[in-house]
A and B are shown apart, each in its own frame.
Chain A
Amino acid sequence: MRISRSVYLLFLTVVLIIYYLVAAVYLNNLGYYNHESLFYIEKTRIVFDGVGARLKVMGLTSPMIPFMATFFFTNISYTLAPALASALGTGLLFFVIASTLIKRRDDDFFMYLLLAIFLFHPGILYTAASGKSTYLVLMFFFLFFLNLLKFYRSNTTFHVSIASICLVTLIFCDYKFVWLTLFFLPLVLTITIHSLNLGEQESIFRLFLSFNSPSLRRKLVNKTFALYIIIFALPLVAVLCYKLLNLTHASDLNYFNESPYATWNVLIDKLSFDQQTTNTNYQIPEISLLISARVLMFCPMILIAIYLFRESTYQILTLLTPFAFIEFLHLKYDKVYIAYQYYMVFLVLAFLCVMFKSQTVKNQKTFRLILAVTVIVQLYTGWYFLKTSPIAEDRNFLSVLTKRTEDETQSDNADIAGYINSLPDDVHILLDDATAYGVVAFVNQQKIKALTMPYQDNFLSGVESPDKAADYILIATDKNLVTGYTQLNNRYLVSIKRTLPQLVFKRVYETDNWIMFRVVK
């Protein structure tokens, strides 16, 4: 009996998922965590075990979809949940891409290429085993562009609406993708010009014709506007609603994006900024245009993709949109390094384009050879970019992966959490999870109720009069990189002693970054 391609694909996906799960669990056992996964773990613990405005935490934690995706795995283990979600999600990403592939090409060569990427590309392994949201970003980025390309071909509302829905999801996986819409503004005009029924083929002359005939001009304006609405209405309205939700529940439109209680990015970006401005080791800065050059280095296959679409201006422009997007990110967030996931999107985009247009190439042999070489180069550049990433946790992932030794990065947080776990259940511990989320992530399930954190109404009164509301306080030491971003640091101790001189704080446990004080009443 011959196994059908889809069954075969399902089997491959299951094997890949097992592979990713093994990697994720193995790395997790070595103690590998990153800020994003720790943040999700901490918020998930609050949602399921906390006391207080848990609904608000659930609704306003951002990015929303990756955070909620971890919920499915909390029954297995809180600390493993993000890694399990990403392992399974990356398997699903493979399935989505591969099923698109088998619908278009009845050719195993491309499947081998895809498998090579998904098995060996360090970026994909990073996506699968890290617990980060990259897998969702890649999936919806892929689906967005896939549907856009399908729309170019079929001109059906279905594909453009699905693209729009994917864009909404993408934005809720990483809010920065909202800026992608900016670069689609001129693109939509070119798409409309292309779709007008004109004898002239050259875009510029089509534009000239359309602007100089009143009826065509009206049609062009109406159609362009309608296309804008169909693509952007859902994302913009969804963002607007989400902002209103933030306004009504947190009195701040941008709470989800700017509060360290709502998203992990805020603190990490600030840290990145601090490191960049104080770093004594000189690193090659990310310069505009060089970013695009770095992308080409990271993913040379995108050049092939551009070559394949060379005959259509607006489709080339579509492919260039992500370039403009990351250049813009660099300008807008000028002190923040471009994260690895923004390079990764080019990997899936390039493969998508190759899938779409590969059959148009006449000399398939040379083409395949070039593709194979490109994939090998990409495997190397993927590794190289991780190794030399300006972001410490990217480098850390590669180091744990290659050295396979215990990761000590979070040991400090785990130590202090271990101490909290050893305390009796009925004590009240005051801590600020804007910076201490890494600690809370390791706290036992039954101890979450003992913690007093900013999402609870009694946190402020606890800060004002710890003698009444807290038995212990967790203070960030001066060595702690994030000490400046929390109220509960050494300066707090000084000020509270000034206000309440009778209070005595007894140092009960100390690590490099944290000190646990017992409030002596």
Chain B
Amino acid sequence: MSIPELLIKDGFITADDREKIDRYSSESGLSFIKIALTLGYISRKNYERSLNEVGIEFAQIREMEYDQDVLDKIDLSFANEHLALPLRIENGKVVTVMANPDDELFVDFIKFTYDLEPHIIIASDLDITWLSNKLIGEKYVKSSVFELLKRDPDSSAVVTFSSAQLVFIFILIGVVAVGLVMSFKNTSIILNVIISSFFLVAIIFKLFLALVGSRFELHQAVTKEELKLTIDDELPIYTILLPVYKEDKLIKKLIWNLQAIDYPRHKLDVKLLIEEDDDKTLNAVRNLDFPAIFEVLVVPYHMPKTKPKACNYGLHFARGKYLTIYDAEDIPDTDQLKKVVSLFGKLPSEYICVQSALNYFNRNENFLTRMFTLEYSYWFDYMLPGLDTLDIPIPLGGTSNHFKLQELIDLGAWDPFNVTEDADLGVRAYAKGHKIAIINSTTYEEANNEPFNWIRQRSRWIKGYMQTYLVHMRDPVKLVKKIGWKGFLGFNFFIGATPVIFLVYPLLLTFFICYIIFDLSSIRTLFPDWVLFMSIFNLMVGNILMIYVNMMAVFKRRYYELILFAIANPIYWLMHSISAYKGLYQLVTNPFYWEKTNHGLSKVNNPTNVVK
């Protein structure tokens, strides 16, 4: 009895399902078992149960011997599509691990390629995937790491500080040091005035962006009527990359969220990217007692161990016309993919990416999640639309950015050495003459609800902004030529100023506390009244404006209960400052280190965000 018949007999799939799988298999080239296990027809447990009942046990294959010459003759894509892998030649037969021994196409491949009969060992598809990616994925993982560096070294963050930048930084430090030695008081005054004025100007720029962005808050990039016009049969294949690392707690949730997406299932190419050493997540997938709707890819070990490297790896196997990334805990609006397809259809060809808004489902969990929600609301609802309107490079958000696949590949994809590869990619796209649009669709994420976890995550983001700034400012003249003065100033005030604001914030706050609260006489002897007045004015007005921008954003989102929390923004910014200093330290000592954010800490369960 063949495997499909066995599954029908056991009642795990219907004859109708089998027909559908066969049809899709002939269309796509994917094997029967691949479709059955990754497109939601049967759970892995049930598959194993069926095989067990006819006396077949899954073999443990991870430690099996292999012959490199045998492996060299098979391509990873083919192995992945068929969930099978030849390992070595033994006793005149090719020892082959297979998830489905009925896969005649693969058996024929073995016969023709090696001119020998296969000796089939049946194993779990996940183990086969793990082994095949580990053994024959090296060229792909190397390409994931070094492709951008090879093709466009100026855009790679593998070098953190260029020589010119180092010279500039040291000259600057030297000038300040000489100034302090020659005239401590005057130099301190000049520094204070520059820093505090910069602080205010950067925040006024944010307010300006927020106002520009808020002007278009009613604008709908894709209307309901336009959405109704999309025809399911004409929709293209859509790849979803799900890079995860030790997210075993979130796998079930992930499946619910993916299942809620309103997009034909056969046109979804969902790839769960698991690191080679992440058995936790792999086992969580193995133990699912309901059908999964994603394909597992195991990213072989290679430094740097970052999310962009994993995404680049997944990109090699993506089949879609469009591609997006979600985190494991993301809950996108159910119609998001269709909206994006519709938007791409009406945008000019230079638009290669569409960014959705991000927000949080667990906003009312604690103080931190509330503050995070305020921040994301103004960032995605006002700042990014503001940048979009003014045609200034948009730093993409970590997830829910939708790309045209081919253009993404042409662009060099993500920089694995940059820890905010998304922001970097946004700027790089602009620099290469592409554009990014913002869409009226939201993905709800899990807000970080634990302070140390939050600082870890934020320090990575701020470090990434510094990296991105340094990468693109290696040749400022060239950058101006590419993105124009408006883009250049926007880039400096948005990407460059953000870490600087957080770095100088505690300094300004210290002056304020010394002057107003403790009334220290020594600070008055150093700074004349007008300087202190100016820096305190800048600090106060800056803070007030930021509070107001936060309030505006939650007002727009109708999260009225959060509006007063905006007042706590100065405290929240202190946490940013801690992260900024941590990020700065890491930028110098360990620039590519990926501070892992733990997800799944929230106790809030949110239903999927069905858009009616």
Contact = CB atoms under 8 A, between A and B. Distances in A.
Interface of A: 55, 154, 156-158, 160-162, 219, 222-223, 225-227, 229-230, 233-234, 237-238, 241
B544 A241 contact: yes
Given A230-B551, A233-B548, A237-B544, A154 B563 contact: no
B171 interface: no
Given A225-B563, A229-B563, A157 B540 contact: no
Given A154-B218, A222-B561, 10 more contacts: A55-B530, A156-B214, A157-B214, A157-B553, A158-B214, A160-B555, A222-B560, A226-B551, A226-B555, A229-B551
Interface residues of B, number: 22
Given A55-B530, A230-B555, A237-B544, A158 B563 contact: no
B67 interface: no
B530 A157 contact: no
B566 to A, nearest CB: 8
A233 B555 CA distance: 13
Can you list the 10 inter-chain pairs with the closest CB atoms, starting with the nearest? A222-B560, A158-B214, A226-B560, A157-B556, A158-B215, A226-B563, A157-B214, A157-B552, A157-B555, A156-B217
A237 B218 CA distance: 28
A161 B541 contact: no
B548 A157 contact: no
Nearest to A219: B560
Nearest to B212: A158
B575 interface: no
Contacts of A162: 211
A154 B554 CA distance: 17
Select the residue from A157, A219, A230, A234 with max chain B CB neighbours within 10 A.
A157
B166 interface: no
A63 B552 CA distance: 28
Contacts of B551: 226, 229-230, 233
B552 A230 contact: yes
A156 B540 contact: no
Interface string B539-565: 011001001100111111010110110
Contact of B560 (A154, A223, A234, A237): A223
19 contacts: A156-B218, A157-B555, A157-B556, A158-B211, A158-B217, A160-B555, A161-B214, A161-B548, A161-B552, A162-B211, A223-B560, A225-B560, A229-B563, A230-B552, A230-B563, A234-B544, A238-B544, A241-B540, A241-B544
| Chain A interface mostly | helix
Contacts of A226: 551, 554-555, 560, 563
A497 B552 CA distance: 64
Contacts of B553: 157
B556 to A, nearest CB: 4
A485 B574 CA distance: 50
Contact of B541 (A160, A227, A233, A241): A241
Interface in B172-221: 211, 214-215, 217-218
Contacts of B218: 154, 156
Contacts of A234: 544, 548
Contacts of A227: 555
A237 B561 CA distance: 20
Contacts of A222: 560-561
B530 A161 contact: no
Interface in B218-275: 218
Contacts of A241: 540-541, 544
Contacts of B214: 156-158, 161
Contacts of B211: 158, 161-162
B412 to A, nearest CB: 37
Nearest to B563: A226
A282 to B, nearest CB: 50
A234 B564 CA distance: 14
A357 B294 CA distance: 56
A227 B558 CA distance: 11
A503 B548 CA distance: 60
A230 B559 CA distance: 13
Interface in B495-548: 530, 540-541, 544, 547-548
Contacts of B556: 156-157
Nearest to B554: A226
A332 to B, nearest CB: 28
A225 B215 CA distance: 22
A167 to B, nearest CB: 13
B288 to A, nearest CB: 38
Contacts of B555: 157, 160, 226-227, 230
A310 B540 CA distance: 43
Nearest to A224: B560
A223 B558 CA distance: 8
A448 B563 CA distance: 51
A226 B552 CA distance: 9
Contacts of B552: 157, 161, 230
A227 B547 CA distance: 15
Contacts of B564: 229
